[in-house]
Amino acid sequence: MTAELVAAYAVALTLLIGSFFTLVGAIGLLKFNDSMTRLHAPTKVSTVGVGMLLLASIIHSFAFGEGAVHEALIMALLFVTAPISAIFIAKVNIHQRDCNMPPELPGDELWATLDVPDADRETEETERA
């Protein structure tokens, strides 16, 4: 009986922590006023926020039903996909000049996003104008 009680408190606590970080992520998304700083919000939500909610689900399944660790797969999938969506959003921001431009590189190097052929650069500039 007490074990179940401890498990129930643990589930409640992890749920609260998880939802707190998810809430902070949402506040950050609303509060910041620049597309690059805003990008930092979703990377938070997908780590500790979702991680804690999934941990609650694991504890609950072990304490009150059949144990299951499927959630580890969800976590793994998030860890693999979150950086990819983040880098794509960042690249679009740089491409559209929506943010402060990144610093110049030494020598002839260019950032991959800005390294476009001259013909494409012309179409790009006429489209933006």
**Alpha carbon separation from 55 to 12, 17, 23, 52, 72 (Å, rounded):** 11, 11, 17, 5, 9
CB of 96 to other proteins, least distance (A): 13
Q: Least distance in Å: CB of 25 to other proteins? A: 8
Q: Which helix (H) or strand (E) holds 4?
A: helix 2-31
Alpha carbons 27 and 58: distance in angstroms, whole number: 27
Residues that bind other proteins (CB under 8 A): 20-21, 24, 27-28, 31-34, 36-37, 39-41, 43-44, 47-48, 66, 68-70, 72-73, 79-80, 82-83, 86-87, 90-91, 93-94, 100, 102-103, 105, 109-113, 115
Q: Which is nearer to other proteins, 109 or 127 (CB)?
A: 109
The residue type of 10 is A
Question: Is 10 or 113 the residue whose CB approaches other proteins more closely?
Answer: 113
3-state secondary structure of 97: coil
For other proteins, give the closer residue by CB, 28 or 53.
Answer: 28
Give me the least distance between CB of 5 and other proteins, in Å please: 26
Look at the alpha carbons of 57, 60, 62, 64 in this order and tell me if their dihedral is positive or negative: negative
Name the residue nearer to other proteins (CB basis): 39 or 59. 39
